[in-house]
Amino acid sequence: MTYDHLDEHDLRASDAERSATVDVLRRHHAEGRLDTTELEERIERCYAAKTRGELDALTADLPGSRPRRRSRQRSLWFPLPLMVIPFVVAAAFASHGRALWLLWPLAFFLQRKGTSHRTFSSFR
């Protein structure tokens, strides 16, 4: 079963995300944006929230209060050269110099590393 069709707001919230949202609410209470009654109501709704969208709705009217989540996107170019380099170097040494041409594709990959912006999520 795949969940690729789900929006970020439809995903289930974790305990850590609920705690982060409670921290945001308490900070805004301390800054005077929420009164005690409203804070208690929002905290109660926060711990009852099932999805990230429900958590985001609790802080939508507060400035700069979205809890930061780690991005699930990872660069394609980060692991590729690290995995390819040992094989290319080993092949070049094992062939006693006859496979030095393998260094050209490696140089291409290393040069492209800084110019590409593709991510794993772009291949869905």
pLDDT of residue 37: 96
How much is the average pLDDT of 105-115?
64
Q: Across the chain, what does the average pLDDT equal? A: 76
Phi and psi at residue 100, to the nearest 5°: -65, -20
Could you give the CA distance from residue 76 to residue 118 in angstroms, rounded to a whole number? 6
pLDDT tens-place string over residues 7-41: 787 889 999 999 999 999 999 999 999 999 999 99
Alpha helix locations (H) across 31-119?
36-48, 52-59, 79-94, 103-112
58, 46 contact by CB (below 8 A) = yes
Q: Is 68's pLDDT higher than 60?
A: no
Percent of the chain's residues with pLDDT above 90: 39
Domain extents in the chain: 8-59, 79-123
Phi and psi at residue 80, to the nearest 5°: -60, -55
pTM of structure = 0.50
21, 67 contact by CB (below 8 A) = yes
How much is the average pLDDT of 57-81?
65
Among residues 8, 31, 25, the alpha carbon closest in space to that of 59 is found at 25
Residue 100 corresponds to which tokens in the numbers above? 């030095």
How much is the average pLDDT of 49-76?
74
